[in-house]
Amino acid sequence: MPRFALRRLSLDRFRSQLASVDAMPQLCLLGIFAGILTGSVMVLFRLLLKLGAFFFMPGGNPEAFEALPPPIRALLPLIAVCLIGVWLWPQPSRALKMGIGHVIERLAYQQGKMPLRNWINQWWVGVISVIGGLSAGREGPAIHLGSAASSWIGSRLRLPHNSLRVLVGCGTAAGISASFNTPIAGVIFAMEVVMMEYTIAGFMPVILASTMGALVSWGIYGAEPAFSVPPLQLSSLMDLPGIVLTALVVGLLAGGFVRLAQGHPAVTRLPFALRLALIGGLTALAAWWYPQVQGIGYDSIDRMLNASVTLDVLLALAVVKLALTAICMAGGVSVGIIGPLLVSGAATGALMGALGAMLWPSVVDTPALYAVLGMAAMMAAALQAPLAALLALLELTRNTEIMLPGMLAVVVAVMTARQLCGCQGFFMSHLAQQGLHPLQQPLMQALSRVAVPAVMERNLARTPRVIDHDRAKSLLDAKPTWLIIIQDDKAKPPLALKAANLARVLHDDAWLAEHPQIDLEEVPGQRLELAPVHLEATLSEAYDTLNESGVEALYVEHTTAPMIRKISGIITREAIENYYRRKR
């Protein structure tokens, strides 16, 4: 029994430490566990893809659609959408949200708490969409599965919600790291796209998680990147106009992709079954002639970088694969988009490089350079994540000489998509209809990093509304800062009174003579109506609760046993605002 009590005490202390913005050692420990768990989930996901391909794909290769007869490869997407539809059709619309966009939404509006049903659906849709021949990647499912698994750690331990946010970032970084063997790009992607903040306390656990995710993946699949990139460099400054033109085309395609993925009302209003039929039918039609548009497409990137690919195939990969991925998203099948974006960007770059080599052979002699730059430019433009794209370029090529043209291509593509196409980034565009993203607001961003226990006033005493003089003196013996007045009517919220107000009247003999029983609602002083907030909540949640309930203070409660709740502290609007001013 004492050992159990000691263990609970240690966990309570751990939770209390995590509530602070400076809980770096504790967050780093969580980052290690999150990275190992996410890396293991990613390995399991890839094994499921391999297992599914073993039954009908040549050589058990989930990318070998080109080796299948045209009728078979055209039939696969139709079967895939049927399987996805049968699984998802009975479920509510909220359960259909999956992928990176769902992770960002839950982080922004639910403090990183991830629903189990969506997590289970992601396994099914992620595996079926890839081996079923839809234009889909594995990175989106990996990030969702890893982030939700990491968040599960925090939920099971009932950790403060500010640490759940960091765990989601850890799962995101480890998912990207384990997918591409690009741990640095995983860190930047998590901070730039998902968490949208750069702090030391946030960076450290995410770096550890990304490292652990990569190590788990390396232990199973080796340390090589997702695809082989030959040594490349900018051979002449005369290539720069062609690189700028390529980035301009990539930016326009990225902007068109985001617009198409948002969905036209004529499509989004269709019944779910018809949308699935549209997705499956268009994919089957394209796959009959161009099987390269199916699946992830990393084998196509290998061929573009290390061999020759015909112009019609490059055009199909650049335009048709991109469009099919966007139609999947618009139709309600949340597939991974990062892999298809990289394939389409590489095909666009390779196509521009091939055309340049035909029109200007004395200058453009390495079309593969344009393909690699096209990958980075497409990822940066569609996601509005230039730093993540540049670091992915660096880690995939392991070549610093390519960074100069890479920076130029990324900037031109991002500006083109943003200024000419009005592209805010694929994931942010889906949240734009809900108003300004909470994590784009400096106040809410700062308050989301800290949990309520770090700021609340713990020195308080609970008391009924009416007490005698002796009870009043005994209450003050503990020197509380606040008195929490519990109303006789349980439906009424408790009130908060400064203990100093009660102490003042206890020294007023005339007032005590008139009041043999002290009604705390008649004691001179300001009383604050209280609303409840949970001990695990962040300051941003507390601030929202204050605004929604119209009160000036909250009482902090937590469950100590089934159906038993304890008041742990009180937090005022003034305390939250003072914390924000102090930390700015």
The closest of 437, 442, 390 to 199, measured between CA atoms, is 442
In a domain, 444, yes or no: no
Which residues constitute the domain of residue 260? 237-439
The closest of 521, 534, 518, 512 to 486, measured between CA atoms, is 521
Q: Which of 385, 414, 439 is the last residue of a domain?
A: 439
The closest of 234, 183, 256 to 408, measured between CA atoms, is 234
Number of structural domains (the chain) is 3
Q: Are 370 and 511 found together in one domain? A: no
In a domain, 341, yes or no: yes
Q: What is the pTM of this model?
A: 0.86
In a domain, 445, yes or no: no
- Residue 322 has which token pair? 């991109």
In a domain, 274, yes or no: yes
Q: Are 218 and 74 found together in one domain? A: yes
In a domain, 387, yes or no: yes
Q: Are 11 and 54 found together in one domain? A: yes
* Whole-number pLDDT of residue 301: 93
Q: Are 360 and 486 found together in one domain? A: no
The closest of 282, 281, 298 to 336, measured between CA atoms, is 298
Tokens 């992607």, residue located: 189
In a domain, 507, yes or no: yes
CATH number (domain holding residue 44): 1.10.3080.10
Q: Are 138 and 105 found together in one domain? A: yes
Query: What are the pLDDT tens digits along the chain (584 aa)?
Result: 444 444 445 777 888 888 877 788 889 999 999 999 999 999 999 999 999 999 889 888 898 999 999 999 999 999 999 999 999 999 998 898 999 989 998 888 888 889 999 999 999 999 999 999 999 998 899 999 999 999 998 988 889 888 898 999 999 999 999 988 889 999 999 998 888 877 777 789 999 999 999 999 999 988 887 777 888 888 788 888 999 999 999 999 999 999 999 887 878 889 999 999 999 999 999 999 999 999 999 999 999 998 888 999 999 999 999 999 999 999 989 999 999 999 999 999 999 999 988 888 766 767 889 999 999 999 999 999 999 999 999 998 888 889 999 999 999 999 999 999 888 888 877 666 555 455 556 667 778 888 888 889 889 888 898 888 888 889 888 889 999 988 777 677 888 999 998 899 888 888 888 888 888 888 888 888 899 999 889 888 899 899 888 888 999 987 666 666 788 889 988 888 888 776 65
Q: How many CB atoms lie within 10 A of CB 478?
A: 10
Q: Are 283 and 368 found together in one domain? A: yes
The closest of 202, 154, 210 to 449, measured between CA atoms, is 202
Q: Which of 202, 228, 254 is the last residue of a domain?
A: 228
The closest of 215, 42, 50 to 122, measured between CA atoms, is 42
DSSP-assigned beta bridge partners for residue 336:
137
Q: Are 143 and 11 found together in one domain? A: yes
Counting other chains too, the contacts that 518-525 makes at CB distance below 8 Å and 24 or more residues apart are 518/466, 518/467, 518/468, 518/469, 518/472, 519/465, 519/466, 520/463, 520/465, 520/466, 520/467, 520/483, 520/485, 520/495, 521/465, 521/485, 521/495, 523/497, 525/497, 525/498, 525/500, 525/501
CATH number (domain holding residue 485): 3.10.580.10
In a domain, 551, yes or no: yes
Q: Are 430 and 465 found together in one domain? A: no
Q: Which of 389, 420, 439 is the last residue of a domain?
A: 439
Q: Are 9 and 80 found together in one domain? A: yes
In a domain, 553, yes or no: yes
Q: Are 276 and 401 found together in one domain? A: yes
Q: Are 46 and 191 found together in one domain? A: yes
Phi first, then psi: give them for residue 543, nearest 5 degrees: -65, -40
Q: Are 432 and 541 found together in one domain? A: no
Q: How many CB atoms lie within 10 A of CB 557?
A: 15
